[in-house]
Amino acid sequence: MININSKIFIAGHNGMLGSAILRVLKKKGYKKLITINKKKLDLRDQIGVKKFFKKKKPHAVIIAAAKVGGIKANIKYPANFLSDNLEIQTNLISSSHLYKVKKLILFGSSCIYPKNLKKPIKESQIMTGKLEETNESYAIAKIAGIKMIESFNKQYKTDYICLMPCNLFGPNDNYNLENSHFLPAIIKKIHLASEKKGKKIVKLWGTGKPLREILYVDELADACEFFLKKKIKKPLVNIGSPVEMTIKDYAKYIRSKIDPNVILKFDNNKKLDGVKRKKLNTSLANLYGWRSKMNFSKALDYIIEDFKRSHK
């Protein structure tokens, strides 16, 4: 059983999710956390990953490393999103098995589910329909990771699982307007507009009508620690929150916190909308004993201030 004295390798510890997991595990008293900078170890390098595992011999592996990005990045670089994620996952899962890792957690994304489903989405609905075209490559890579975990569990009796979160936000997010997710992009655009003199206009992608569920990243890190210590039968578990609004409503809410005088204008490009709704059914996670405790307003206040501090 994994405990605070277990050696735990966090792959991708510099990213938003990885840094949150590192922060939460340290706070909970975990003493043997293993990290490595991607400049020292390219997780796409199979031989390099095997050497690292042979040397470190972790008891648990958390795969928070991935090539991620917003809708435009997914459309522009499908080959990278597919190949990079396949290589990262395959190397880490294979090396975990080779060096007898006791517990492995892979993180996916709600985009793995077909686009035209009855919502909220249950784990059993994976691979039951056509994927959203705009992030198909990333979704296929993550589905392959889930199926790899299922296969290893079936053949080798390993204890590997995949946690499937909704849209995340939090400290250390990506605010690059070309490849960020919708929430950090809205925060940055509204903040920049608020500093202008005269008319404060923000131009946003799409129609603003799609519904999105949102979760503070430390909540997912908490779920990670919870399931790290728990033996479960199902290899796939949705991790979501009670918060769901349209992108337009998120923009209005963020505007009310930064500058009510900002004018929001959507370009109405339906191709940049993505899936209309991606609400997750979290009854399985709740059954195991985990549920979101997020105070969205408080978390958003913190993130807006964190953004202002780090982007002066």
pLDDT given for residue 274 in this prediction: 79
Joined together, the tokens standing for residue 199 give 């008319």
pLDDT in tens, the chain (312 residues): 899 999 999 999 999 999 999 999 999 999 999 999 999 999 999 999 999 999 999 999 999 999 888 778 888 999 999 999 999 999 999 999 999 999 999 999 888 999 888 889 999 999 999 998 888 999 999 999 999 999 999 999 999 999 999 999 999 998 988 878 899 999 999 999 999 888 899 999 899 999 999 999 999 999 999 999 998 989 999 999 999 999 999 999 999 999 999 999 999 988 888 788 889 999 999 999 999 999 999 999 999 999 998 876
**pTM, rounded to two decimals:** 0.93
Class of domain 7-173+214-241+279-294: alpha beta
Cα 275 to Cα 103: distance, rounded to the nearest angstrom: 33
Q: How far is CA 158 from the centre of its chain?
A: 24
Cα 122 to Cα 199: distance, rounded to the nearest angstrom: 45
Joined together, the tokens standing for residue 285 give 């996670």
Question: Locate tokens 């605010």: which residue?
Answer: 175
Catalytic positions are 138
The ranges assigned to domains in the chain are 7-173+214-241+279-294
State the alpha helices, DSSP H only, in the chain: 16-27, 46-56, 71-76, 78-98, 136-156, 182-194, 217-228, 247-258, 283-288, 296-310
Burial (CB count within 10 angstroms: exposed 0-12, middle 13-18, buried 19+), residue 198: exposed
